[in-house]
Structure 1
Amino acid sequence: MAALRVAVIIGSTREGRAADTVAGWFLARAGRLDGVELAVVDLVDYELPSRYPAEPTPAMAALAASIGRADAFVVMTPEYNRSFPASLKQAIDCAYDEWRAKAVGFVSYGSGSDGSHAVGQLRGVFTELHAVTVRDEVRVDLMRPLPDEARAVTTMLNQLIWWGEALRDARAARPYVS
């Protein structure tokens, strides 16, 4: 069976962001799993417009293509004021059909919080896009040290792999209709 293509979307574009540390920690653990091909999609690498244009810009098209190539996603989000950042919502809105019938897992983080409010709101957004969010998530409180071993990473990824493979097989057998 072909490796499951998982896009790890880094949702923060803030200067001095903690995303780089959290992403490195997560990727070091996620990279240990067999049967998964990880591709980092860092939103800081995309010059998305401040206003939504009538036609997609090249950066918007490139981001949508990256999303379209993936079988499943891990969305990494900080929690800002009990929500997720605008940069992540803007990026999510650059694609539509590319999200459909694909699995989404979450890694969230915050200072003195673990990002659970951000994930709660993202679940509704992805439901509207006909994506399937996995139950378990990885939550990091930046006021505590990152653990050497993280059972939550393995648990979330095992669910993501199961759903990702099931949905990939289903899409191959029959196109998704909404």
Structure 2
Amino acid sequence: MSQALKIAVILSSTRPTRLADKPATWFLDFAKAQHPEIAFELVDLRDYDLPFFDEVASNAWAPSQSAEAVKWQKKVGEFDGYIFVTAEYNHSITGVLKNALDQAYVEWGKKPMGAVGYGGLGAGRAIEHLRAIAVELQMVPVRNAVHIGGGDFMAISPMGQNAEMSTIAPHIEGSAKALLDDIAWWGAATKAARG
């Protein structure tokens, strides 16, 4: 087993007008600079044409029949941890993210997860919901998260000033560093335990 951690940064919205690309790209660059020993990869849910989950059971109990679901499971299985870049839709995560989470089970387990959230309240409610789902999938939710809310959200949003991420970077770099340190520690610990 390779010693280098491989962490997915998952874009959790597929809307044509999504904001996700802006914080995801910034976060990926920041992550690579903070932890060059970790291999970070951007994983876009747009690249997976997942059907609504309609398998006979989770892949913990029966092999998935959907070729797209199997493709997704293989991709998820490549990683030692996950950071979800998510909006907040009606106090929760995006529907497409919930579906993607449901399409795998075995692959998520015993690996850390964290989140970068954006929206009026920094996607705080969505991230808490995501953590609860992650526990059921046997992931290890980490304490720290990045919350882009309020004035920072309006600063980078097309509904506001549509500014670059550098405008708000000083406000979120501390939480981004804490999130990455959590993922690095828990990623190493869980990878050693799985090995």
> Do they superpose with TM above 0.5?
yes
Partner Cα distance (2:43, 2:77) in 1: 12
Partner Cα distance (1:152, 1:56) in 2: 40
The answer for the alignment partner of 2:75 in structure 1 is: 66
Can you list the C-alpha shifts for 1:50-77, whole angstroms capped at 9, x where unaligned?
3524543222111111111100110111
Aligned counterpart in structure 1 of residue 44 of structure 2, from 37, 42, 66: 42
User: Residues 89-168 of structure 1 correspond to what in structure 2 (within 5 A)?
Assistant: 89-110=98-119, 112-141=120-149, 142-145=153-156, 146=165, 147-149=168-170, 150-168=173-191
After TM superposition, the structure 1 stretch with the greater mean CA deviation from structure 2, 13-22 or 148-157, is 148-157
Question: Is contact 1:106–1:138 with CA below 8 Å preserved after alignment?
Answer: yes
Structure 1 stretches of at least 4 aligned residues deviating more than 4 Å after TM superposition: none
**Residue type of the alignment partner of 1:160:** I
Which ranges in structure 1 are unaligned for 5 or more consecutive residues? 173-178
The answer for the alignment partner of 1:83 in structure 2 is: 92
**Residue type of the alignment partner of 1:60:** A
Partner Cα distance (1:63, 1:76) in 2: 17
After TM superposition, the structure 1 stretch with the greater mean CA deviation from structure 2, 69-78 or 1-10, is 1-10
Aligned pair count? 171
Deviation at 1:34, TM superposition (A): 2.0
Which ranges in structure 2 are unaligned for 5 or more consecutive residues? 57-63, 157-164
Normalised by the length of structure 1, the TM-score is 0.91
* Identical-pair percentage: 36
Question: Is contact 1:76–1:107 with CA below 8 Å preserved after alignment?
Answer: yes
**Residue type of the alignment partner of 2:155:** R
Aligned CA distance change for structure 1 residues 125 and 161 (closer, same or farther; 3 Å): same
After TM superposition, the structure 1 stretch with the greater mean CA deviation from structure 2, 58-67 or 162-171, is 58-67
Taking only aligned residues, the RMSD between alpha carbons, in angstroms, comes to 1.4
